[in-house]
């Protein structure tokens, strides 16, 4: 039974949780304002979009694919949600349609990558530009703020009792994907395809269908993250989500997902997102100048992955 405890996946989880705790401990010592309920809630809220999109992106990357268009999907979905609300549509319907738009982009990505065999980086780089452009066209480059009903900000800033609504929703989505990863065919197949595509094919898995499904999920969730961000900001703005794809990839990779696929977990991604969030927040609180913050971010990213590598090699030796 001892052997089971040290399974690679569990082990990786331990390392990343350890890194998070060390960082939190360090920040607590360095800034007396860090460890307060308000501040922790803030960080969680700031990472909501990353975690929501990251859930689906984790599975996509586990299956060995990549999506660069998520920031753009976020922008178009956020802008469209705002526009629909200014037309008088109920917020829930507006969000739903925005998510559908994200789904459509996901389908396009899936078709390009899985069915037409365009390398995923190139295909989604293409949709990244095209969708961002579409968002600018739709908003005319301006932010959509006039004529938004009060309800618009509920999704991003509302509360259920003492708990921010956006955290509640994110928790539900996270649990759903935790379930998908561990308990459904989609999750298993993502790992199988990423681990050994040939074997997956020979085992009778419909590799293409799984691939497209994952892109669709990524599209839908990125769009939802976009609606939520727009709601939090109180405007629809085509500039949001610029560089978001990298924030998500950083969280996913910190969480132990291999860039070659086959390994990873949404739990790890969550911890990765928190690490990124806490570092940025802690450094802000300490008044560290933004240029230095970037350096710290880079060092932590590479450092955490390196630490994982080194410890893993020790374990195997």
Partner 1 sequence: MHSNDYILEMRGIVKRYPGVMALKGVDFAVQRNTVHCLVGENGAGKSTLIKILTGVERMTEGSITLDGRPYAGRNVREAMNAGISTVYQELNIVNQLTVAENLTLGRESNRFGVLKSNPQERSFSMLREFAPDVPLNRPVSRLSFAEKQLLEIVKAVSTDAKLVIMDEPTAALSKRESERLYEVVRKLKARGITVIYISHVLDDIFTIGDEVTALRDGNIVGTRAVESTTREELVEMMVGKVVHSGYSTDGRTPGDVLLEARDLSTRSVHALNFTLKKGEILGFYGLRGGGKSETARALFGLDRLTGGQLLIEGKNVKIRNPQQAMRLGLAMVPEERLSEGLFMKLSVSDNIAVTNYKNTSRLCVVNEKNKDAIAEKYAHDLNIKLHSIRQRASTLSGGNQQKVVISKCLNARTRVLMLDEPSRGIDVGAKEEIYAIIRQLAGQGVGILVFSSEYEEIAALCDRVALMLNGEIIAMRKNSELDTREVHILTMGKGDKA
Partner 2 sequence: MKKVLTILLTLALCLSLFVVAAAEEDDPIVIGQVFWGLHDSYQHAHQVQTQKYCDELGIEYIPIDGQMKPEVQAAGMEDLIARGVDGIICQAYDQASMELSIQAAQDAGIPVVSFVNVSSGDVLYPSVEMAEEAGAIEMGRIVGEKFKENFPDTNVKLVTISDPSVEWAHNQRTMAFVRGLQEVFPDLEHVFNGGKSDREIAYSTVEDVLQRDPEVNVIFGYDAENGLGAIAALEASGRGQAEDYVCKTEMVVSVDGSTDEILKVMDPNSSYVATLALRPSENARACVDMMLKVINGEIDMYDTTQNVKIPSFVIDCWNMDIASTEQFMLEEWEIEIDIAAELGL
Q: Give residues in contact with partner 2 (CB under 8 A).
A: 14, 17-18, 21-22, 24-25, 28-29, 32-36, 38-39, 41-42, 45-46, 49, 141-143, 145-146, 153, 157, 229, 232-235, 237, 239-243, 280-281, 284-285, 287, 289-291, 293
Q: Pick what 191 binds: partner 2, partner 1, none; C-beta below 5 to 8 Å, kind-dependent.
A: partner 1
Min dist. Cβ of residue 46 to partner 2 (A) = 5
Rounded to the nearest 5°, which phi and psi values hold at 216? -65, -45
Q: Of partner 2, partner 1, none, which one does residue 186 interact with (CB within 5 to 8 Å by kind)?
A: partner 1
Residue 314 found at the interface with partner 1 (CB under 8 A) = no
Specify the residue, 141 or 298, whose C-beta has the smaller distance to partner 2.
141
How far apart are the C-alpha atoms of 172 and 80, rounded to whole Å?
Answer: 24
Whether the Cβ atoms of residue 158 and residue 260 lie closer than 8 Å to each other: no
119 binds, among partner 2, partner 1, none (CB under 5 to 8 A by kind): none
Shortest distance, position 207 Cβ to partner 1, whole Å: 10
**What's the closest the beta carbon of residue 279 comes to partner 1, in angstroms?**
29
Distance between CA atoms of residues 283 and 233, nearest Å: 22
CB-based contact 205:192 (threshold 8 Å): yes
Two tokens, residue 314: 């020790």
Cα 110 vs. chain centroid, distance in angstroms? 18
Count of CA atoms in the C-beta half-sphere (13 A) of 258: 14
Closer residue to partner 2 in complex, CB, 46/196: 46
Site mask for partner 1 (CB under 8 A), range 258-287, x = bound: ----xx------------------------
**Residue 260: CB minimum distance to partner 1, A:** 10
- CA-based torsion, 68, 71, 72, 78: positive or negative: positive
Binding-site member from 76, 173, 192, 273 for partner 1 (CB under 8 A): 192
Cβ contacts of residue 107 below 8 Å, gap of 6+? 212, 215, 216, 219
**DSSP-derived 3-state class of residue 164:** strand
SS3 state of residue 140:
coil
Taking the least distance from each CB to partner 1, the nearer of 200 and 250 is: 200
From the CB of 187, what's the least distance to partner 1, in Å? Answer: 8
Q: Give the H/E segment covering residue 160.
A: strand 159-160
Task: Choose, by CB under 8 A, the member of 42, 188, 234, 311 that binds partner 1.
Answer: 188
Nearest 5°: the CA angle 66, 294, 164 is 70
DSSP state of 317: -
Which of the listed partners (partner 1, partner 2, none) does 262 bind, with a CB threshold of 5 to 8 Å by partner kind? Answer: partner 1
**Contacts to partner 1 by CB under 8 A:** 3-4, 7-9, 183-186, 188, 191-192, 194-196, 198-200, 202-205, 262-263
């Amino acid at each position: 039974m001892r052997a089971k405890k040290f399974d690679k996946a569990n082990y990786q989880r331990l390392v990343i949780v350890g890194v998070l705790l060390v960082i939190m401990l360090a920040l607590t010592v360095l800034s007396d304002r860090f460890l307060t309920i308000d501040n922790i809630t803030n960080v969680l809220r700031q990472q909501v979009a990353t975690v929501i999109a990251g859930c689906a992106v984790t599975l996509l990357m586990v299956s060995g694919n990549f999506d660069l268009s998520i920031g753009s999907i976020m922008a178009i979905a956020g802008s469209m949600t705002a526009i629909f609300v200014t037309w008088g549509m109920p917020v829930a319907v507006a969000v739903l349609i925005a998510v559908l738009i994200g789904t459509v982009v996901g389908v396009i990505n899936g078709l390009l990558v899985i069915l037409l065999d365009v390398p995923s980086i190139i295909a989604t780089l293409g949709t990244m530009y095209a969708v961002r452009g579409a968002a600018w066209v739709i908003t005319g480059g301006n932010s959509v703020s006039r004529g938004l009903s009060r309800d618009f900000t509920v999704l991003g800033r509302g509360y259920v009792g003492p708990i921010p609504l956006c955290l509640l929703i994110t928790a539900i989505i996270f649990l759903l994907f935790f379930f998908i990863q561990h308990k459904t065919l989609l999750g298993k197949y993502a790992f199988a395809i990423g681990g050994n595509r040939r074997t997956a094919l020979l085992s009778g898995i419909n590799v293409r269908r799984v691939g497209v499904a994952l892109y669709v999920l990524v599209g839908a969730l990125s769009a939802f993250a976009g609606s939520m961000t727009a709601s939090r900001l109180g405007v629809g703005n085509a500039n949001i989500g610029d560089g978001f794809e990298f924030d998500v990839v950083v969280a996913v990779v910190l969480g132990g997902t291999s860039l070659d696929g086959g390994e990873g977990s949404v739990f790890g991604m969550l911890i990765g997102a928190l690490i990124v969030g806490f570092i940025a927040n802690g450094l802000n609180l300490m008044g560290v100048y933004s240029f230095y913050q970037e350096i710290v971010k880079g060092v932590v990213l590479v450092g955490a992955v390196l630490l994982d590598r080194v410890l893993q090699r020790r374990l195997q030796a």
